[in-house]
A and B are shown apart, each in its own frame.
Chain A
Amino acid sequence: MAIHWTKYSAPSAFYPMAGRSLPWLAAGTLLLTAVGVYMGLFSAPTDYKQGEAYRIMFIHVPAAWMSMWLYIVMAAYAGLGLVYNTRMAHMLAAATAPTGAIFAFLALWTGAFWGRPMWGAWWVWDARLTSELILFFLYLGVMALRAAIDDRQRADRASALLALVGVVNVPIIYFSVKWWNTLHQGATIDFSGSKMDRSMLWPMLILTVAFWLYSFVTIFLRARCEILERERHAEWVGELLDNRG
């Protein structure tokens, strides 16, 4: 079956598609979160070194992954929007930023709760913490710039350019902070495999998928709002609202 992806670059096609998929995505989010949290809290064994507190990472690690991934997603939409000047790409970039910022904040927040029993401090100036904090600021910058510009087209394009400048800088910031100071434990999972036990790995992966679905839900919801706001003078929006009564 051939799927015409470009079809959904039209807001009039995207809106109903997002609406139809939302219940499924939301159900998947709830189900996987419940399963992942249950496995993380009850079926995963206690860590011999870190005790029970390590269970925070079932939330912490997926949130950190998603915060980085969503920045790339946002920058990709920003790039598409700048190059092809498609409205939908800009709307999706705008819809992605708040979710990414929330995940960055969640990663910092849970990291603080994990750091307290492990390192004995709520906050340390460690490389990954610091670069996550800067990533959070980059999200805030993109959102603040968009909010400060009244002209919608300029807001779209300006924040898109800033997102692209940010994505060039993220690796530079990450490595500078890394050479500056490192205390965080090294990555346990990389592309060559995992040093983690299966029973601990599964809840983390399930929760990652759950967070990923959650991102879809919030981004689709926000994008649908944007579409209605921006396209309110379009004929199909009028028909849609008339049908609703």
Chain B
Amino acid sequence: MFAVTGMVRRDVILAMRRRADVLTTLFFFVIVAALFPLGIGPEMATLRIMGPGVLWVAALLASMLSLGRMFAADYADGTLEQMLVLPQPLSLLVLGKVVAHWLGSGLPLVLLSPVLGLQYGLAPDVLKVLVISLLLGTPVLSLIGAIGAALTLGLRGGGVLVALLVLPLYVPVLIFGAGAVEAHSSGLGGEGHLSLLGAFLLMALALSPWAAATALRISLD
């Protein structure tokens, strides 16, 4: 357990010392969300329908863009190789890094999303569902993304490659995340979608740290 919390603390402290990185992800999210109304047109009725989907896609892209940071710095200075030989299980250390990554990229998006939702004219109860869906969904993005980040470690063109590897795997999260908001605003109730998102989260929590640890071992072999 200490392996996880220690790693989270270390990575959060490191992230706080390089605040610009966190803010870049956040501004990317804001800018993408602001570009859509410019492209589609300012009619509130259209925007209200598109809002949840647009915000979810923007969150997906923002979370993916920040994946490179998860292991890259530790890989560059050799810390990662030291982690591989630690007595603590590597999957727990990876879990710690994923949690820290989510705190630095996912959580700020969740907190900011109601503001952007207001720009799309979403009603308060819809905003609430949006926040809950993002809260459940963005950790899954970080967890799945860790596998892609570990596999592409140190490769040329890694950033583009990770998009090709990870985005298809993000599809279910996108469907149920945006679907929850849509189901709620159409009166069907989003609980089913949210429960499935929770199920994804539990499954990803169980499997992906282990898969990412295996990927790290492959990449650093």
Contact = CB atoms under 8 A, between A and B. Distances in A.
B161 A144 contact: yes
Main secondary structure of the interface of B (DSSP, over half): helix
Contacts of A164: 211
B175 A177 contact: yes
Interface residues of A, number: 26
Given A145-B161, A148-B155, A173 B219 contact: no
B125 interface: no
B13 interface: no
Interface centre among B152, B155, B164, B219 (most CB of A within 10 A): B164
A210 to B, nearest CB: 29
Given A140-B164, A162-B165, A173-B168, A148 B152 contact: yes
Nearest to B221: A154
Contact of B147 (A137, A153, A165): A165
A180 B168 contact: no
A161 interface: yes
What 9 pairs between A and B have smallest CB-CB spacing?
A176-B172, A137-B168, A157-B218, A141-B165, A176-B175, A134-B168, A180-B175, A141-B164, A148-B155
A186 B152 CA distance: 39
Given A145-B151, A154-B221, A161 B171 contact: no
A138 interface: yes
Nearest to B196: A176
B129 to A, nearest CB: 17
A26 to B, nearest CB: 33
Given A145-B161, A148-B158, A149-B155, 11 more contacts: A137-B164, A138-B168, A148-B152, A154-B218, A157-B221, A162-B147, A162-B151, A162-B165, A169-B168, A169-B172, A173-B168
A168 interface: yes
A144 B151 CA distance: 12
Interface residues of B, number: 26
17 contacts: A137-B168, A138-B168, A145-B161, A148-B161, A149-B155, A153-B221, A158-B151, A161-B147, A161-B214, A161-B215, A162-B165, A168-B207, A169-B169, A169-B172, A172-B172, A173-B172, A176-B171
A204 to B, nearest CB: 29
Interface string B200-221: 1000000100010011001101
B18 interface: no
Nearest to A149: B155
A158 B221 CA distance: 11
Nearest to A175: B172
B211 A165 contact: yes
A146 to B, nearest CB: 11
Interface string A128-140: 0000001001101
Interface string B108-120: 0000000000000
Contacts of B56: none
Contacts of B87: none
Nearest to A139: B168
B96 interface: no
Nearest to A143: B164
Nearest to A159: B151
B157 interface: yes
A162 B215 CA distance: 9
B156 A148 contact: yes
